[in-house]
Amino acid sequence: MAVQAQATEHINPYEVALRQYDRAVAYLDLPAGIKTFLRYPKRELSVNFPVRMDNGDIRMFSGYRVHHNTVLGPSKGGIRYAPRVDIDEVRALAMWMTWKCALVNLPYGGAKGGVVCDPYTMSQNELERLTRRYATEIILFISPHGDIPAPDMGTNAQTMAWIMDTYSMTVGYSVPAIVTGKPINVGGSQGRTEATGRGVIICMDEALRRGGHTNPSEIRVAIQGFGNVGTYAAKHAYDLGYKIIAISDVTGGYYNGKGLDIDDVMAYTRTSQHHQLAGYPNADPISNEELLALECDVLAPCALENQLTGDNAANIKAFLVVEGANGPTTPEADDILFSKGVEIIPDILANAGGVTVSYFEWVQGLQSFFWDVEEVNRQLRRVLIRAYDDVVQTRDQYEVDMRTAAQITAIKRVGDATRTRGIYP
């Protein structure tokens, strides 16, 4: 059963990112010129390149890499492989990376990359050739001290290993710090694969605890998306005793009111075609729209942008939305959910665990000194809870919603750093 998520055609993520920015920056006392400067991507690269397919045909692919801002440090951001990537999506994701890194106090700016392709219909050999060629096309844009890619939708640790190898072969020596999210045997960090999902649940748990909900077994959680973020969010929540009543992926939604056994689901996807949920036996099939509108306590959209919109936000029954995905909620939905009293933990906070452990990986790689997983998870929690506290403080100071508070906190840091550095020349 192929169930599509909410149609995304009419909502441009970059317009969403700019509207969020405009809403937040209005609260800040920054010079107008700096406010305008922070709205713009710093530089953008579009590439078109050929790849030889397994059947001998040569196919053209298009890709992008956007650096939104580098005031706080080298730019950082994932690379996405998806059929509908375009320059505006990459611009939006790069801008959100700038705010995310600033929010969790990492010495990074924001970037993002993407290739228009469907990785689920390509062989490993084709993906390797595409990745190596794309890496070569953007090589002038990336460097271990300038711009450091990581995985995102449709890419993974293997993709990062190919980029690391391609870059290293080109410069003539090994440069592990060119990417993060690498396999551990080539310089990756313990805990990086799980970090984004783990961070989503650290934030969820914190919000629930502050709201007086101290018994995880009473909390029903629905998770959209069962890729890197959704899987490890589900796993960490399950291990903490939360009841995961629904999950979904591009093949559809799966519901079990008694709570899904996430270890069993993960064992299933490890061997299923493309690691997808299709045919999972111990749950009832539901549609993506039904999952979003389920009777539950926490909804965690962990798949793609524009899932909660002006059209469906009124149907949301959860009292807490934790955004594992980037940009899953439109400004219209934000307003509806806020007026319904639904709390949102915004993407730039909720999914910042990934870039945080990417930073740890980069630091470990540059020092050639590696931490154990307990140290990684302890530091991850410390960084996220501090950021959570900062957002709550800003929310109370400005009397705004959590998203606006997170953006105000982040934009202020980048704006203040811009003033300190000055405008060149």
Active-site residue numbers? 112
Q: Which of 63, 66, 98 is nearest to 83 (CA)?
A: 63
Burial of 421 (0-12, 13-18, 19+ CB in 10 A): exposed
DSSP letter, residue 358: H
Shortest Cβ distance from residue 71 to ligand NAD (Å)? 21
Q: Which is nearer to ligand NAD, 222 or 414 (CB)?
A: 222
Torsions phi, psi of 148, nearest 5? -120, 105
Shortest Cβ distance from residue 191 to ligand NAD (Å)? 12
Shortest Cβ distance from residue 418 to ligand NAD (Å)? 25
Q: Residue 173 in 3-state DSSP?
A: coil
- Name the one residue in this structure whose structure tokens are 């030889």: 52
**Max intra-chain CA distance, the chain:** 63
Pairing mode of beta strands 284-286, 298-301: unpaired
Shortest Cβ distance from residue 372 to ligand NAD (Å)? 21
Amino acid 178 reads: I
- Decide if 292 contacts 215 (C-beta within 8 A): no
Shortest Cβ distance from residue 149 to ligand NAD (Å)? 12
Could you tell me which residues come within 8 angstroms of residue 261 by beta carbon, excluding any fewer than 6 positions away? 238, 282
Peptide bond into 425 cis (omega under 30): yes
Q: Residue 9 in 3-state DSSP?
A: coil
CA–CA gap between residue 232 and residue 234 (Å, rounded) = 5
- Decide if 356 contacts 106 (C-beta within 8 A): yes
In what order do the strands lie in the sheet containing 109-116? Answer: 43-52, 58-69, 109-116, 75-82, 147-151
Shortest Cβ distance from residue 160 to ligand NAD (Å)? 11
Look up residue 143 and give its two tokens. Answer: 């460097």
Q: Closest-CB residue for ligand NAD?
A: 227
Q: Which is nearer to ligand NAD, 149 or 365 (CB)?
A: 149
Pairing mode of beta strands 109-116, 220-224: unpaired
Torsions phi, psi of 170, nearest 5? -70, -40
Q: Which is nearer to ligand NAD, 28 or 186 (CB)?
A: 186
Shortest Cβ distance from residue 217 to ligand NAD (Å)? 26
Look up residue 302 and give its two tokens. Answer: 């962990």
Shortest Cβ distance from residue 187 to ligand NAD (Å)? 17
Footprint of ligand NAD (CB under 6 A): 4-5, 151-154, 196, 224-230, 248-250, 288, 302-304, 324-326, 351, 354
CA–CA gap between residue 396 and residue 425 (Å, rounded) = 38
> In what helix (H) or strand (E) does residue 408 lie, and over which residues does it extend?
helix 402-421
